[in-house]
Chain A
């Protein structure tokens, strides 16, 4: 068995504990969002194995761009290949809202935030499994022991959270309705592009793998700030009131 699968199992357990625990604690100990974790799991594989390659092939054929050109392809086509990931992923991540039970949960800004966050994390978990599968197909990594994949662990933990925030941004905007939905989609696209920037820069060989690994932390911090702002905005009235407070002394 390829050793990446051991690290993938560890990653999935830790990510589920971290981000599932965060959802439980921050949403006021609510468990009703957890079933949504199942919905996003297959979406990364669908996006990466079917939709994205098909879109690239279709656009390439329509514009008569020869396949396999790599960086020799026209600039607009390279830009399209960079943009296709956020375009497809931000769309597919909210597709479970087409299911009535999922959409019915989006009743307020707070519920939109948690539905979005859980769907995004779910997508991230599926993506972690898909990437482990993709790495396992590469013979170059076959000889590596499981503990050589700690970079995968760190990156996937952060990416799960980032997907959660991106989808929360979009679904809270959809809940507001009207032009906010479009604005939310464009914001999620831009943030996704920002998240992918270190990987893109590495693929263009403008930065080393070490810089790429470290620079993942920057989007992670930005996403944490956005998450806290979303939480503050979506706060329910009286959420911070403690009915059991005892004042012992006051002057």
Chain B
């Protein structure tokens, strides 16, 4: 089900993707090429210890992000739209501050962020529209871009038409 009603709040889920696979894959790569060799080589060398200090938190972060993938959702109530991803990400968008809602493809930059095929989280720099706070199951294509005076938000509701209708209905209520 793409939409659920919980009291006065409506829950929208994002469109499906395999973004979690990328997060898990990166964790595996870091473990295979960073952590495992450093552990096998032993803790005697400074570079081995440094590798572990840097790699372990990064690998754990990717594993947690992959684990929380199914928790991505968009909550709409009378006053605001809330984008959530696990306990780490909560963006609140007051409905009366929304200036535009449009769907478009976004343009890549080289700058690193949590942005892989099928997932984009947190603040992501884009070449065309600048920094966007993302909570989406796509990184570039068909992103629903919500702009307020201060920020831009990117999301990918599964049922986009229903989502837009619901947001507009709440804004006009």
Chain A positions within 8 Å of B, measured between CB atoms, are: 10, 22, 25-26, 145, 147-148, 150-151, 153, 208-210, 213-214, 224, 227-228, 231-232, 239-240, 242, 244-251
List 13 A–B pairs whose Cβ atoms lie within 8 Å, in order of A's numbering: A10-B33, A26-B108, A147-B37, A147-B40, A153-B33, A224-B111, A231-B110, A242-B128, A244-B104, A247-B102, A248-B164, A250-B99, A251-B99
Chain B positions within 8 Å of A, measured between CB atoms, are: 33-34, 36-38, 40-41, 46-47, 50-51, 98-105, 107-111, 127-128, 164, 167-168, 171
Report the Cα distance A231→B107, complex, angstroms. 12
Q: Does A249 contact B107, Cβ atoms closer than 8 Å?
A: no
Q: Does B168 contact A151, Cβ atoms closer than 8 Å?
A: no
Q: Does B47 contact A240, Cβ atoms closer than 8 Å?
A: no
- From A208, A239, A250, give the contact of B100 (CB < 8 A): A250
Report the Cα distance A203→B23, complex, angstroms. 38
Q: List chain A residues, Cβ under 8 A from B167.
A: 249
With known contacts A228-B109, A249-B168, A145–B40 Cβ distance under 8 A: yes
Closest to A239 in B: B107
Report the Cα distance A150→B111, complex, angstroms. 23
Kindly count the residue-residue contacts between A and B in the assembled complex, taking CB atoms under 8 Å apart: 75
Q: List chain B residues, Cβ under 8 A from A240.
A: 107, 127-128
Name the distance in Å between A109's Cβ and chain B's nearest Cβ: 16
With known contacts A25-B108, A148-B37, A246–B51 Cβ distance under 8 A: no
Name the distance in Å between A27's Cβ and chain B's nearest Cβ: 11
Q: Does A227 contact B41, Cβ atoms closer than 8 Å?
A: no
Q: Does B111 contact A228, Cβ atoms closer than 8 Å?
A: yes
Q: Does A213 contact B104, Cβ atoms closer than 8 Å?
A: no
Closest to B125 in A: A228
Q: List chain A residues, Cβ under 8 A from B101.
A: 247-250
Most chain A beta-carbon neighbours within 10 Å: one of B37, B41, B98, B167: B37
Closest to B147 in A: A250
Name the distance in Å between B34's Cβ and chain A's nearest Cβ: 7
Report the Cα distance A247→B110, complex, angstroms. 27
Most chain B beta-carbon neighbours within 10 Å: one of A145, A150, A208: A150
Q: List chain B residues, Cβ under 8 A from A209.
A: 47
Closest to B102 in A: A247
Q: Does B168 contact A148, Cβ atoms closer than 8 Å?
A: no
- From B110, B168, B171, give the contact of A228 (CB < 8 A): B110
Name the distance in Å between B54's Cβ and chain A's nearest Cβ: 10
Q: Does A242 contact B127, Cβ atoms closer than 8 Å?
A: no
Known: A242-B104, A249-B98. 6 other contacts (CB 8 A): A224-B111, A227-B110, A228-B111, A239-B107, A246-B104, A248-B164
Q: Does A148 contact B127, Cβ atoms closer than 8 Å?
A: no
Q: List chain B residues, Cβ under 8 A from A231.
A: 110, 127
Q: Does A246 contact B47, Cβ atoms closer than 8 Å?
A: no
Q: Does A246 contact B107, Cβ atoms closer than 8 Å?
A: no
Q: Does B104 contact A214, Cβ atoms closer than 8 Å?
A: no
Q: Does B105 contact A242, Cβ atoms closer than 8 Å?
A: yes
Q: List chain A residues, Cβ under 8 A from B36.
A: 147
Report the Cα distance A25→B139, complex, angstroms. 12
Most chain B beta-carbon neighbours within 10 Å: one of A213, A228, A246: A246
- From B51, B104, B168, give the contact of A150 (CB < 8 A): B51
